[in-house]
Amino acid sequence: MSLTHTLFALLHRDLLLAYRHRAQLTNPLLFFTIVVSLFPLALEPDPKLLTTIGPGVIWVAALLANMLSLEGMFRSDFDDGSLEQIALSPYPLSLLVLAKVAAHWLTTGLPLLFAAPLLALLLNLPSEAMGVLLLTLLLGTPTLSLIGAIGVALTIGLRGGGVLLSLLILPLYIPVLIFAASAVANSAAGFGITGQLAILGALLALALGLAPLAAAGALRISLN
């Protein structure tokens, strides 16, 4: 099999697995929605306040939803040994990891975009900010999945690695959070957003280039 063929086969397999276990698709989405709806209850449902905190709240919830779903990226493959078979393949492990990250993002990151408009309504975000929110999610969540892959690869062999994973990964998510939330807040206030979007794009490019290499290295250590 050629390299492209292998990558698509891997992607197809992961997507099919996710489709057969549909709870994997819906759970992060439900989590995302519930966390966001907790904030008006904890604070006060004042529309002005909600507009102010809305971008940050939605992005923090997206971050947490992404983090909770990370474990699924390699878990079942690690448990049944197919990850070792993947690592034995003649193709670069970093590219195979990239295919797995892509599948993970398509099944857990992309669906957040469908819930986001609803949440923007709940938090009283102006309609101009809605498009920007979707754009930042589109640019930002792949970066989160890529960085997250390194953390999962490092902790996959450990018992109770979940909390440890959040310790390792959340500080690294901060730049995405800052620029994404600020872009949404700026557009809600009517200011320019090209700078933030450009930096989100740059972060994505950087993560695309480096994260698969680090994750592949980490996987080889975990599989040792």
Partner 1 sequence: MWQWFHRLGSPQRFYRLAGTVSTALMVAAAILAAAGLYYGLVDSPADYQQGESVRIMYVHVPAAWMSMFIYMVVAASSLVVLVWRIKVADAFARASAPIGAWFTFLALVTGSLWGKPMWGTWWIWDARLTSELILLFIYFGYIALRNAIEEPETAARAAAILALVGVVNIPIIHYSVEWWNTLHQGATVTKFDKPSIHLSMLIPLLLMAFAFKFYYLAIALRRARSLVLEREKGSRWVREMFGGTA
Closest distance of CB 155 from partner 1, Å:
7
DSSP H or E stretch at residue 105: none
Distance CA 222, CA 224 (A): 5
Cα distances from 82 to residues 22, 79, 89, 184, 224, in angstroms, run 21, 8, 11, 41, 14
Residues in the chain: 224
Name 167's Cβ contacts closer than 8 Å, sequence gap at least 6: none
Secondary structure (DSSP) of 59-100: HHHHHHHHHHHHGGGTHHHHHHTHHHHHHHSSS-HHHHHHHH
Contact pick of 38, 121, 164, 189 for partner 1 (by CB under 8 A): 164
Contact pick of 61, 99, 203, 204 for partner 1 (by CB under 8 A): 203
Near partner 1 by CB under 8 A, which window of 72-80, 81-89, 120-128, 210-218? Answer: 210-218
From the DSSP assignment, how many helices (H) and strands (E) are in the chain? 10, 0
Closest distance of CB 122 from partner 1, Å:
26
CB closer to partner 1 out of 36 and 214: 214
Contact pick of 135, 154, 184, 188 for partner 1 (by CB under 8 A): 154
Contact pick of 14, 161, 187, 197 for partner 1 (by CB under 8 A): 161
Mark 107-146 with x for binding to partner 1 (rule: CB under 8 A) and - for no binding.
----------------------------------------
Near partner 1 by CB under 8 A, which window of 41-49, 60-68, 111-119, 211-219? Answer: 211-219
Contact pick of 73, 150, 152, 188 for partner 1 (by CB under 8 A): 150
Residue 60 binds to partner 1 (criterion: CB under 8 A): no
Distance CA 130, CA 219 (A): 38
**Residue 18 CB neighbours (<10 A):** 18
CB closer to partner 1 out of 141 and 155: 155
Amino acid at 53: I
Question: Which residues contact partner 1 by CB under 8 A?
Answer: 150, 154-155, 157-158, 161, 164, 167-168, 170-172, 174-175, 178-179, 182, 199, 203, 206, 210, 214, 217-218, 221-222, 224
